[in-house]
Amino acid sequence: MSISNVVASYNELSKLDLRVLRVIEVLHRNYEYVPVRRIVKYMNLSEEVINKSISKMNKLKLLVRRGPDNVRLTFPAYDILSIHTMVKRGVIDAIAPTPLGVGKESDVYAAESSSGDKYALKFHRIGRVSFRNTRKYRVWIGERRHITWLYEAKISAHMEYMALTEAYRAKVPVPKPRAITRHLVAMEYINGIELFKIRLSNPESVLEQIISAIEDLLRINIIHGDLNEYNILVNPSSEKITIIDWPQWMYANVKGSKTILMRDLNIILRYFKSNYGLNISIDAVMGRLAPLIPSSELPPEKVYSRLIKRITSLVS
Protein backbone atom coordinates (compact mmCIF):
# COMPACT_ATOMS: atom_id res chain seq x y z
CA MET A 1 0.00 0.00 0.00
CA SER A 2 1.39 3.42 -1.00
CA ILE A 3 1.87 6.12 1.60
CA SER A 4 -0.91 8.12 -0.11
CA ASN A 5 -3.32 5.23 0.49
CA VAL A 6 -2.08 4.88 4.07
CA VAL A 7 -2.74 8.57 4.73
CA ALA A 8 -6.14 8.31 3.01
CA SER A 9 -7.04 5.36 5.25
CA TYR A 10 -5.79 7.25 8.29
CA ASN A 11 -8.12 10.14 7.46
CA GLU A 12 -11.08 7.73 7.36
CA LEU A 13 -10.49 6.42 10.86
CA SER A 14 -12.37 7.61 13.93
CA LYS A 15 -10.88 7.96 17.39
CA LEU A 16 -12.48 4.64 18.24
CA ASP A 17 -10.87 2.93 15.25
CA LEU A 18 -7.46 4.22 16.29
CA ARG A 19 -8.06 2.96 19.83
CA VAL A 20 -8.96 -0.48 18.48
CA LEU A 21 -5.73 -0.57 16.47
CA ARG A 22 -3.74 0.43 19.52
CA VAL A 23 -5.40 -2.25 21.67
CA ILE A 24 -4.67 -4.91 19.06
CA GLU A 25 -1.05 -3.73 19.03
CA VAL A 26 -0.86 -4.13 22.81
CA LEU A 27 -2.46 -7.58 22.69
CA HIS A 28 0.01 -8.71 20.01
CA ARG A 29 2.44 -9.13 22.90
CA ASN A 30 0.54 -12.32 23.73
CA TYR A 31 -1.19 -13.26 20.47
CA GLU A 32 -0.16 -13.46 16.83
CA TYR A 33 -3.88 -13.27 15.96
CA VAL A 34 -5.78 -11.39 18.65
CA PRO A 35 -9.17 -12.83 19.70
CA VAL A 36 -11.96 -10.29 19.28
CA ARG A 37 -13.29 -11.25 22.72
CA ARG A 38 -10.00 -10.00 24.23
CA ILE A 39 -10.40 -6.65 22.47
CA VAL A 40 -13.98 -6.39 23.74
CA LYS A 41 -12.88 -7.15 27.29
CA TYR A 42 -9.91 -4.78 27.16
CA MET A 43 -11.95 -1.85 25.84
CA ASN A 44 -15.09 -2.60 27.87
CA LEU A 45 -17.30 -1.97 24.85
CA SER A 46 -19.93 -4.09 23.15
CA GLU A 47 -18.90 -6.77 20.69
CA GLU A 48 -21.14 -5.14 18.09
CA VAL A 49 -19.23 -1.84 18.31
CA ILE A 50 -15.84 -3.57 18.10
CA ASN A 51 -16.86 -5.80 15.18
CA LYS A 52 -18.15 -2.80 13.24
CA SER A 53 -14.78 -1.08 13.63
CA ILE A 54 -12.88 -4.25 12.75
CA SER A 55 -14.96 -4.80 9.60
CA LYS A 56 -14.28 -1.25 8.48
CA MET A 57 -10.52 -1.61 8.98
CA ASN A 58 -10.48 -5.04 7.36
CA LYS A 59 -11.92 -3.44 4.21
CA LEU A 60 -9.19 -0.78 4.41
CA LYS A 61 -6.59 -3.62 4.57
CA LEU A 62 -5.44 -2.53 8.02
CA LEU A 63 -6.38 -5.83 9.61
CA VAL A 64 -6.16 -9.47 8.55
CA ARG A 65 -8.68 -11.98 9.89
CA ARG A 66 -8.14 -15.59 10.84
CA GLY A 67 -11.66 -16.92 10.91
CA PRO A 68 -14.40 -14.59 12.14
CA ASP A 69 -13.01 -14.04 15.62
CA ASN A 70 -9.25 -13.36 15.37
CA VAL A 71 -7.35 -10.45 13.80
CA ARG A 72 -3.84 -9.10 13.38
CA LEU A 73 -2.36 -5.79 12.28
CA THR A 74 -0.87 -5.23 8.83
CA PHE A 75 2.10 -2.98 8.08
CA PRO A 76 -0.23 -0.18 6.81
CA ALA A 77 -1.99 -0.27 10.20
CA TYR A 78 1.38 -0.02 11.91
CA ASP A 79 2.24 2.90 9.62
CA ILE A 80 -0.95 4.64 10.67
CA LEU A 81 -0.26 4.17 14.37
CA SER A 82 3.26 5.54 13.87
CA ILE A 83 2.11 8.51 11.79
CA HIS A 84 -0.60 9.29 14.33
CA THR A 85 1.99 9.39 17.14
CA MET A 86 4.33 11.63 15.12
CA VAL A 87 1.45 13.98 14.31
CA LYS A 88 0.43 14.20 17.97
CA ARG A 89 4.03 14.98 18.91
CA GLY A 90 4.13 17.78 16.35
CA VAL A 91 6.96 16.15 14.42
CA ILE A 92 5.11 15.88 11.10
CA ASP A 93 2.20 17.66 9.48
CA ALA A 94 2.45 16.45 5.88
CA ILE A 95 4.14 13.57 4.01
CA ALA A 96 5.25 13.70 0.38
CA PRO A 97 3.50 11.01 -1.72
CA THR A 98 6.64 9.99 -3.65
CA PRO A 99 9.26 8.02 -1.71
CA LEU A 100 12.83 9.24 -1.45
CA GLY A 101 13.88 5.62 -1.54
CA VAL A 102 12.43 2.11 -1.44
CA GLY A 103 14.66 -0.72 -0.30
CA LYS A 104 14.43 -4.35 0.78
CA GLU A 105 14.05 -3.37 4.41
CA SER A 106 12.64 0.18 4.45
CA ASP A 107 10.74 2.98 2.72
CA VAL A 108 11.86 6.60 3.11
CA TYR A 109 9.62 9.65 2.59
CA ALA A 110 10.08 13.39 2.94
CA ALA A 111 7.84 15.11 5.47
CA GLU A 112 7.26 18.57 6.95
CA SER A 113 6.28 19.75 10.40
CA SER A 114 3.68 22.44 11.02
CA SER A 115 6.56 24.90 11.50
CA GLY A 116 7.98 24.07 8.08
CA ASP A 117 10.91 21.90 9.19
CA LYS A 118 11.71 19.16 6.70
CA TYR A 119 12.40 15.57 7.76
CA ALA A 120 13.08 12.17 6.28
CA LEU A 121 10.75 9.46 7.58
CA LYS A 122 12.11 5.93 7.47
CA PHE A 123 9.61 3.08 7.82
CA HIS A 124 11.40 -0.17 8.65
CA ARG A 125 9.92 -3.19 6.85
CA ILE A 126 11.92 -6.27 7.76
CA GLY A 127 9.42 -8.74 6.31
CA ARG A 128 10.25 -7.97 2.68
CA VAL A 129 13.15 -10.39 2.66
CA SER A 130 13.48 -13.81 4.21
CA PHE A 131 13.44 -14.02 8.00
CA ARG A 132 16.56 -16.17 7.97
CA ASN A 133 18.57 -13.75 5.86
CA THR A 134 17.69 -10.70 7.96
CA ARG A 135 18.21 -12.42 11.29
CA LYS A 136 21.75 -13.55 10.49
CA TYR A 137 22.74 -9.87 10.30
CA ARG A 138 20.88 -8.95 13.47
CA VAL A 139 22.96 -10.40 16.29
CA TRP A 140 21.17 -8.09 18.70
CA ILE A 141 17.94 -10.04 18.26
CA GLY A 142 19.53 -12.97 20.09
CA GLU A 143 17.78 -16.33 20.05
CA ARG A 144 14.19 -15.09 19.84
CA ARG A 145 12.31 -17.45 17.52
CA HIS A 146 8.77 -16.12 17.62
CA ILE A 147 9.15 -12.44 16.79
CA THR A 148 6.44 -10.98 14.58
CA TRP A 149 7.50 -8.93 11.57
CA LEU A 150 6.13 -5.83 13.25
CA TYR A 151 8.16 -6.42 16.38
CA GLU A 152 11.36 -7.08 14.48
CA ALA A 153 10.83 -3.93 12.42
CA LYS A 154 10.33 -2.05 15.68
CA ILE A 155 13.60 -3.35 17.11
CA SER A 156 15.40 -2.53 13.85
CA ALA A 157 14.14 1.06 13.97
CA HIS A 158 15.19 1.53 17.60
CA MET A 159 18.63 0.10 16.85
CA GLU A 160 19.11 2.49 13.95
CA TYR A 161 17.94 5.42 16.07
CA MET A 162 20.42 4.45 18.77
CA ALA A 163 23.31 4.30 16.29
CA LEU A 164 22.34 7.65 14.76
CA THR A 165 22.15 9.24 18.20
CA GLU A 166 25.57 7.99 19.27
CA ALA A 167 27.19 8.83 15.93
CA TYR A 168 25.64 12.31 15.79
CA ARG A 169 26.87 13.10 19.31
CA ALA A 170 30.35 12.05 18.20
CA LYS A 171 30.10 14.48 15.26
CA VAL A 172 30.12 11.71 12.67
CA PRO A 173 28.42 12.97 9.47
CA VAL A 174 25.00 11.33 9.86
CA PRO A 175 21.44 12.72 9.70
CA LYS A 176 20.40 14.26 13.00
CA PRO A 177 17.88 11.89 14.64
CA ARG A 178 14.63 13.68 15.50
CA ALA A 179 12.13 11.16 16.87
CA ILE A 180 11.18 7.50 16.91
CA THR A 181 8.01 5.52 17.41
CA ARG A 182 7.43 1.85 16.64
CA HIS A 183 9.09 1.10 13.27
CA LEU A 184 9.32 4.74 12.18
CA VAL A 185 12.43 6.94 12.52
CA ALA A 186 12.24 10.68 11.81
CA MET A 187 15.56 12.28 11.00
CA GLU A 188 17.06 15.37 9.44
CA TYR A 189 16.41 15.74 5.70
CA ILE A 190 19.74 15.72 3.88
CA ASN A 191 20.32 17.60 0.65
CA GLY A 192 22.48 14.95 -0.91
CA ILE A 193 22.89 12.55 -3.81
CA GLU A 194 23.99 8.94 -3.49
CA LEU A 195 27.72 8.57 -4.10
CA PHE A 196 27.19 6.29 -7.09
CA LYS A 197 25.01 8.90 -8.84
CA ILE A 198 27.43 11.83 -8.69
CA ARG A 199 30.70 12.54 -10.48
CA LEU A 200 33.05 13.97 -7.88
CA SER A 201 35.35 16.89 -8.60
CA ASN A 202 37.59 15.98 -5.65
CA PRO A 203 37.34 12.23 -5.01
CA GLU A 204 40.44 12.25 -2.78
CA SER A 205 38.70 14.61 -0.35
CA VAL A 206 35.51 12.56 -0.30
CA LEU A 207 37.41 9.32 0.32
CA GLU A 208 39.29 11.00 3.16
CA GLN A 209 35.98 12.12 4.68
CA ILE A 210 34.74 8.53 4.60
CA ILE A 211 37.87 7.11 6.22
CA SER A 212 37.82 9.88 8.85
CA ALA A 213 34.18 9.01 9.60
CA ILE A 214 35.15 5.35 10.04
CA GLU A 215 37.86 6.47 12.47
CA ASP A 216 35.39 8.56 14.47
CA LEU A 217 32.98 5.62 14.61
CA LEU A 218 35.70 3.30 15.90
CA ARG A 219 36.39 5.82 18.67
CA ILE A 220 32.85 5.16 19.93
CA ASN A 221 33.15 1.41 19.30
CA ILE A 222 30.84 1.33 16.26
CA ILE A 223 31.11 -0.15 12.76
CA HIS A 224 28.54 0.75 10.12
CA GLY A 225 28.31 -2.78 8.76
CA ASP A 226 26.85 -1.95 5.34
CA LEU A 227 29.00 0.88 4.02
CA ASN A 228 28.90 1.31 0.25
CA GLU A 229 28.28 3.83 -2.51
CA TYR A 230 24.52 3.57 -1.99
CA ASN A 231 24.63 4.50 1.70
CA ILE A 232 26.74 7.64 1.38
CA LEU A 233 25.11 10.91 0.36
CA VAL A 234 27.19 13.71 -1.13
CA ASN A 235 26.18 17.37 -1.11
CA PRO A 236 26.48 18.37 -4.80
CA SER A 237 27.91 21.82 -4.06
CA SER A 238 30.23 21.21 -1.10
CA GLU A 239 30.90 17.49 -1.63
CA LYS A 240 30.46 16.94 2.09
CA ILE A 241 29.28 13.42 2.94
CA THR A 242 26.48 12.02 5.08
CA ILE A 243 26.37 8.33 5.99
CA ILE A 244 22.89 6.79 6.05
CA ASP A 245 21.20 3.37 6.55
CA TRP A 246 22.30 2.03 9.92
CA PRO A 247 20.26 -1.11 10.78
CA GLN A 248 23.28 -3.41 10.32
CA TRP A 249 25.66 -1.52 12.61
CA MET A 250 27.60 -3.44 15.21
CA TYR A 251 29.98 -2.83 18.05
CA ALA A 252 33.66 -2.91 17.12
CA ASN A 253 34.58 -5.27 19.95
CA VAL A 254 32.16 -8.02 18.89
CA LYS A 255 33.54 -11.24 17.46
CA GLY A 256 33.67 -11.00 13.66
CA SER A 257 33.48 -7.20 13.59
CA LYS A 258 36.97 -6.80 12.10
CA THR A 259 35.88 -8.90 9.13
CA ILE A 260 32.84 -6.66 8.64
CA LEU A 261 35.02 -3.54 8.92
CA MET A 262 37.37 -4.87 6.26
CA ARG A 263 34.41 -5.71 4.03
CA ASP A 264 33.13 -2.12 4.34
CA LEU A 265 36.58 -0.75 3.51
CA ASN A 266 37.11 -3.10 0.57
CA ILE A 267 33.80 -2.03 -0.97
CA ILE A 268 34.63 1.68 -0.62
CA LEU A 269 38.24 1.37 -1.83
CA ARG A 270 37.19 -0.73 -4.83
CA TYR A 271 34.59 1.86 -5.75
CA PHE A 272 37.10 4.73 -5.73
CA LYS A 273 39.68 2.66 -7.60
CA SER A 274 37.32 1.59 -10.37
CA ASN A 275 35.64 4.99 -10.76
CA TYR A 276 38.46 7.44 -10.02
CA GLY A 277 41.68 5.45 -10.31
CA LEU A 278 42.55 5.94 -6.62
CA ASN A 279 44.72 2.97 -5.74
CA ILE A 280 44.83 2.88 -1.95
CA SER A 281 45.51 -0.46 -0.35
CA ILE A 282 43.36 -1.79 2.42
CA ASP A 283 46.52 -2.62 4.37
CA ALA A 284 47.44 1.06 4.46
CA VAL A 285 43.99 2.05 5.72
CA MET A 286 43.87 -0.77 8.27
CA GLY A 287 47.28 0.32 9.51
CA ARG A 288 45.87 3.80 10.05
CA LEU A 289 42.85 2.40 11.88
CA ALA A 290 44.76 -0.19 13.89
CA PRO A 291 45.16 1.90 17.08
CA LEU A 292 41.36 2.31 17.23
CA ILE A 293 40.45 -1.34 16.64
CA PRO A 294 39.80 -3.27 19.88
CA SER A 295 42.58 -5.75 20.59
CA SER A 296 40.18 -8.48 21.64
CA GLU A 297 36.76 -9.55 20.39
CA LEU A 298 34.00 -10.69 22.71
CA PRO A 299 31.13 -13.12 22.01
CA PRO A 300 28.05 -11.27 20.66
CA GLU A 301 25.80 -12.55 23.44
CA LYS A 302 28.13 -11.07 26.07
CA VAL A 303 28.37 -7.65 24.40
CA TYR A 304 24.73 -7.39 23.42
CA SER A 305 23.01 -8.85 26.47
CA ARG A 306 22.51 -5.51 28.22
CA LEU A 307 21.74 -3.75 24.96
CA ILE A 308 19.09 -6.32 24.06
CA LYS A 309 17.45 -5.84 27.46
CA ARG A 310 17.50 -2.09 27.01
CA ILE A 311 16.02 -2.20 23.53
CA THR A 312 13.34 -4.76 24.34
CA SER A 313 12.29 -2.71 27.37
CA LEU A 314 11.80 0.25 25.03
CA VAL A 315 9.83 -1.66 22.40
CA SER A 316 7.83 -4.18 24.40
Quote the CATH superfamily of domain 88-190: Phosphorylase Kinase; domain 1 (3.30.200.20)
Quote the CATH superfamily of domain 193-307: Transferase(Phosphotransferase) domain 1 (1.10.510.10)
Determine contact, residues 63/76, Cβ cutoff 8 Å.
no
Distance CA 52, CA 47 (A): 8
> What pLDDT does residue 85 have?
96
Compute the residue count for the chain: 316
Distance CA 250, CA 168 (A): 16
Residue 226 a catalytic site member: yes
> What pLDDT does residue 132 have?
43
| Active-site residue identified among 69, 117, 226, 283 | 226
Domain spans of the chain, in order of start: 3-77, 88-190, 193-307
> What pLDDT does residue 305 have?
66
> What pLDDT does residue 287 have?
97
Neighbours of 67 (CB within 10 A): 9
In DSSP terms, 242 is beta-bridged to: 233
Q: What is the largest CA-CA distance in the chain?
A: 71
Determine contact, residues 16/49, Cβ cutoff 8 Å.
yes
Per CATH, 3-77 and 193-307 having the same topology is answered no
Query: pLDDT of the chain along its 316 residues, tens only?
Result: 889 999 999 999 999 999 999 999 999 988 989 999 999 999 999 999 999 999 999 999 999 999 989 999 999 999 999 999 999 999 999 999 999 988 778 999 999 998 899 999 999 987 655 444 454 445 545 544 444 678 888 888 998 999 999 999 999 999 999 999 999 999 999 999 999 999 999 999 999 999 999 999 999 999 999 999 999 999 999 999 999 999 889 999 999 999 999 999 999 999 999 999 999 999 999 999 999 999 888 887 777 666 766 666 665 4
CATH 1.10.10.10 fits 3-77, yes or no: yes
Distance CA 308, CA 237 (A): 41
Amino acid at 296: S
